[in-house]
Chain A
Amino acid sequence: MKQALTPTGPDIFLDNVSFAYEKEPVLKEISLTFEPGRFYSILGPNGCGKTTLLDLLIGHMTPDKGRVFLRGKELAAWSRKKIARTIALVSQNYNINFPFTVEEVIMMGRHPWIPRFSQPDQKDMDRVKAVMARTGTDTFHDRKITALSGGERQRCVFARALCQDTPILFLDEAFSNMDISHTLRLLNLVKEEVSMQNRTVISVFHDINLASIWSDHLIFMKQGRVAACGPTDEVMNAAVIEEVFQVESHVAYNEYSRARQACFKAG
């Protein structure tokens, strides 16, 4: 993890990026900077381009216009393997049709670090064991992944991403199927990684209040553009929420959660 401890400039930098699947642009002239050691959350209505943005940042797609830089080098010049050693992704899709055991699935996170014909060594095993203990997946380590519930499966995929030992972590609605206790447990774990290991986290969230508690920065997106972006305390307000989601809310600092929280009402 030496890499993560030597931040030089921004981790990721988007320069005027536009992208369209077909004719209708999904992302329009987006410029953003992601600094190391921070927790970023991307919020916005369905279909506003959040997942597409993550796909561009990890190199699954290339922008039509503009450029993406990862650690100072243009993303197009990175090999898939190098990217996998730098960015881990917990994706929404965790449909698994083959009965791998939980341990096997989590060990797959070590893939970018294990040479082609090698078996995992002791260090890989130790890493997997440690991550399983921290994510609470060790209690069902020998079960078939196909026999688990959605939330349990999501935790396995989460653990796999942590095993990847990358300085940057993407969470694409990683908590959508988890109960609140596991959500909090994993969010605390991620936060710890951010502050202790100087990892950068970019997370797509639906829950504005959870995002506000854990994020250093919020990025609000609407119709393919960045609607608001900045430190959580500055952009977490009723005006922004109304503009992005067209809902009324009351936003105030909450003593208990030590963060600004939004309240909503019926009607």
Chain B
Amino acid sequence: MNWIQPCLTAGRTQILAGLFSILLLGLVVLSASLGYMKIEFFDVLKIILARLPGQAHLAEAVSQASQVVVMDVRLPRILTCAAVGGGLALSGVIFQGILLNPLADPYTLGVSAGAAFGACFAILLNLGAAFVSVPLFAFAGACLTLFFVIFLSYTGKNSAAVLSSNSLILSGIIVAAILSAGISFLKYTADEQVSIIIFWLMGSFASKTWLDVGVTLLSLVLGLLVSMVFARDLNLISLGERSAASLGVDTRKVTLMLLVTGSMLAAVSVSVSGIIGFVGLLVPHMVRLFTGPDNRRLIPVSLLAGALLLLGADTITRAVLPHEIPIGILTALIGGPVFCWIFKRGAIR
């Protein structure tokens, strides 16, 4: 931690958050103007503003095709992507705090493996319309996994050590290992459907709808509320359960609340867009270098940074690269080397 010394104060954190918000809005509009069909930046702005009450005249000069592309194709994808990016980063902050481990990520407890198993199951059985059943099964799989992990680690007489970071991490590893064997088995039996499974696992934001936007934004807002209410408790928990309990934190209750919140965020993200790695691990890390570890500053800035980063990556794969490559692969290809660099600089150890 010695290569960026100054931790920003509260005031400068607000400036950073404001800057990120403006950048994010700009990127949303920019991203909506890029793609197979080029649309002027200001036309996009007009199309969006025309949706405000009483402003319909703004979009009169813009072609109908552009309006449809922006409103029905690009914006749902862009907003879902930004919400998922923010959700994954927020989930990462929560898990790193609860598990007292700056290397934890939203998938540490096997939530992604559970979601993947549920999705594979739905694809394999070819249950109804895949648009509905796959996300639902993925979400159910993630929730069941989470509850099983909590059940496994909910032992011990010391109330300050129940749901301790060690037992949670170990339970998560065990459950994830079992589930990934299950996924392999499903793939083995899947025959020609195996390509659908593999494609789903790599993650994508293609053909998202306003329903996806609604679900992801709702979970993001709820997650932000809960995590901000308990942000100071999370600071204390991140220094150890026993000392947090002696400082008046009801560790069992708060850990459970935050655990469910973080996992729900991850589960919604995975079920909407597949498994997207490294955002939840990397973003809180990089943001922590600027804001310091205080969760009251870390949470909002990480959320914005995660949204910016994932939207940037999705815009690159959608509009800049000659062929769209799965977003999960892109984030791993970019995130992996960045992580190596941070690790080598000793910022983690």
If A91-B242, A97-B101 touch, does A60 touch B158 (CB 8 Å cutoff)? Answer: yes
Instruction: Pick the contact of A98: B159, B238, B245, B247 (CB < 8 A).
Output: B238
Say yes or no for B246: interface residue by CB 8 A criterion. yes
Whole-angstrom distance between the alpha carbons of A234 and B49 in the complex?
85
Enumerate B152-206 residues with CB–CB distance to A below 8 Å.
157-161
**Given contacts A100-B294, A108-B239, are A84 and B247 in contact (CB under 8 A)?**
yes
Report the bound CA distance from A84 to B160 in whole Å: 13
- State the interface size on chain B (CB cutoff 8 A): 30
Chain A proximity of B343: nearest CB distance (Å):
15
Name A96's closest neighbour in chain B (CB-CB): B239
Name the distance in Å between B32's Cβ and chain A's nearest Cβ. Answer: 36
Nearest CB of A to B33, in Å: 40
**CB–CB B239/A100 < 8 A:** yes
Is the Cβ of B248 less than 8 Å from the Cβ of A81? yes
Q: By the criterion CB–CB under 8 Å, are B229 and A91 in contact?
A: no
Residue from B101, B158, B246, B293 in contact with A61 in the complex, judged by beta carbons closer than 8 Å: B158
Out of A87, A105, A112, name the residue touching B239 (CB < 8 Å). A105
Residues of A near B334 (CB, < 8 A) are none
Distance to closest chain B CB from A195 (angstroms): 24
Cβ of B293: which chain A residues have Cβ within 8 Å of it? 98-100
Across the interface, A116 reaches (CB within 8 A) one of B1, B232, B288, namely B232
- Asked if A60 and B247 sit within 8 Å, CB to CB, the answer is no
Q: Is the CB of B242 within 8 A of A112?
A: no
> Which residues in chain A, 34-69, are within 8 Å of chain B measured between CB atoms?
55, 58-62
Picked from B1, B100, B101, B236, the residue with its CB within 8 Å of the CB of A146 is B1
Tell me whether A111 and B294 are in contact (CB under 8 A): no
A164 at the interface (CB under 8 A from B): yes
Q: How far is the CB of B150 from chain A (nearest CB, A)?
A: 20
Give, as a whole number of angstroms, the nearest-CB distance from B100 to chain A: 6
Beyond A80-B249, A111-B248, whether A101 also contacts B292 by CB under 8 A is yes
CA distance A131 to B216 in the complex (A): 46
Residues of B within 8 A of A138 (CB): none
Is B324 in the interface zone, CB < 8 Å from A?
Answer: no
B235 within 8 A of A: yes
* Given A111-B248, A116-B229: A99 in contact with B1 (beta carbons within 8 A): yes
B245 touches A80 (CB 8 A): yes
Interface string of B229-267 (1 = CB under 8 A from A): 100100110111011011111100000000000000000
- B7 on the A face (CB < 8 A): yes
Q: Could you tell me the dominant secondary structure of chain B's interface residues? A: loop
- Return B54 CB to nearest CB of chain A, in Å: 36
Q: Say yes or no: is A244 at the interface (Cβ < 8 Å to chain B).
A: no
**A28 neighbours in B (Cβ, 8 Å):** none
Interface 0/1 of B277-295, CB less than 8 Å to A = 0000000000010001110
Contacts of A60 in B (CB 8 A): 158-161, 242, 245-246
- Whether the Cβ atoms of B229 and A109 lie closer than 8 Å is no
Contact status A147-B1, CB under 8 Å: yes
- The answer to the question of B102 belonging to the interface, with a C-beta cut-off of 8 Å to chain A, is yes
Residues of A within 8 A of B7 (CB): 101
A88, CB-defined interface residue at 8 Å: yes
Within 8 Å of chain B (Cβ to Cβ): is A83? yes
For the complex, give the distance between the alpha carbons of A233 and B248 in Å.
Answer: 36
- Partner of B157 from the list A59, A61, A111, A147 (CB cut-off 8 Å) is A61
Q: Which chain A positions have C-beta within 8 A of B158?
A: 55, 60-61
A111:B247 contact, CB within 8 angstroms = yes
B246 pairs with A88, CB closer than 8 A? yes
Considering only residues 106-148 of chain A, those with a C-beta below 8 Å from chain B are 108-109, 111-112, 114, 116, 144, 146-147
Question: By the criterion CB–CB under 8 Å, are B102 and A98 in contact?
Answer: yes
- 5 tightest A-B CB contacts, nearest first: A84-B248, A89-B246, A112-B248, A98-B293, A81-B248
Q: A60-B158, A146-B1 are in contact. List 20 more A-B contacts (CB 8 A).
A: A58-B245, A60-B159, A60-B246, A62-B159, A84-B246, A89-B246, A94-B240, A96-B239, A97-B101, A97-B102, A98-B239, A99-B292, A100-B292, A100-B294, A101-B7, A108-B235, A109-B247, A111-B249, A116-B229, A170-B246
Could you pull out 12 A-B pairs where Cβ atoms are within 8 angstroms? A21-B157, A60-B161, A60-B246, A80-B250, A89-B243, A96-B240, A99-B1, A104-B294, A105-B239, A108-B247, A109-B247, A111-B249
A interface residues, Cβ below 8 angstroms from B: 21, 55, 58-62, 80-81, 83-85, 87-89, 91, 93-101, 104-105, 108-109, 111-112, 114, 116, 144, 146-147, 157, 164, 170
